[in-house]
Amino acid sequence: MSSLRGKRILVTGAGSGIGRAAARLFWDSGADLVLAGRRLAELQETLWVARHVALDHSDEAAVAAFAEQCPDLDGMFLAAGQLLTGSVASTPIAAFDATLAANLRGPWLLCHHLGPKLREGGSVVLVGSNIGLRAIPDSAAYSVSKAGVHMLARVLAQEWAPRRIRCNAIAPGPVHTPMVDTRLAASEDPAGDLARLSSVNPLKRLGTEVEVALLAAHLLSDESTWTTGVVIPIDGGADAVF
């Protein structure tokens, strides 16, 4: 496991899913954590010994106020987001705006306001998606938002390079998270949808939250100091066959 000992890292979306798994893994690897999410109780359940901040990362005033009191950071893992299915034609404009706010505006605001808090040599990892790398049916708003996250990582890698701060994005495929469970629960054919999700990669299974967290830990550590400005698929090989 990559060593994060002594590094202060902000984790957003830390109340569940990939963010929660990452927070626990980073803590076990020696990091000093600041956990952010909408619900304070869920953050405390993730890791009660960390600092906890109830935060809507799409609210600029809230992010700016948080930045004023946030300590200097060695890294950020920005995992908060939301899933929305639907075509361009069928997606309500309000739902599109909410998806862009959660998945792209939020990370952009955090990087805008917290960039000055990052120490030289730090690292930021944004969570994109493998369907931000290609178009698939019924994922219009989500795909667009995650494609924007990928470009944001590339832009920040250029802008922060003089300070030796790295920025990368990871692009998970279907991962067994509460968000996926919610999607399956609302389906007319949960078993069939799970089988379809599991079949889109050569390994024929969903990923796990910890598998994604391990990649993030590597990118946040000093083991990846020459890796910046890239989007790394972590999707069981789906990127190689699509």
Handedness of CA 198, 199, 205, 208 (dihedral sign): negative
* Burial of residue 79 (number of CB atoms within 10 Å: 0-12, 13-18, 19+): buried
* Contact assessment for residue 127 and residue 117, using Cβ atoms and an 8 Å cutoff: no
**Tokens standing for 13?**
């979306």
> How far is 223 from 125, CA to CA, in rounded Å?
14
| 142 belongs to the catalytic site | yes
**Tokens standing for 102?**
């959660």
Classified as helix, coil or strand, 23 is: helix
The pair phi, psi for residue 14, each rounded to 5°, is -80, 0
* Contact assessment for residue 37 and residue 80, using Cβ atoms and an 8 Å cutoff: yes
> How far is 155 from 167, CA to CA, in rounded Å?
9
Q: Which of 26, 66, 142, 160 is catalytic?
A: 142
Beta-bridge partners for 11: 35, 77
Q: Which residues are catalytic?
A: 142
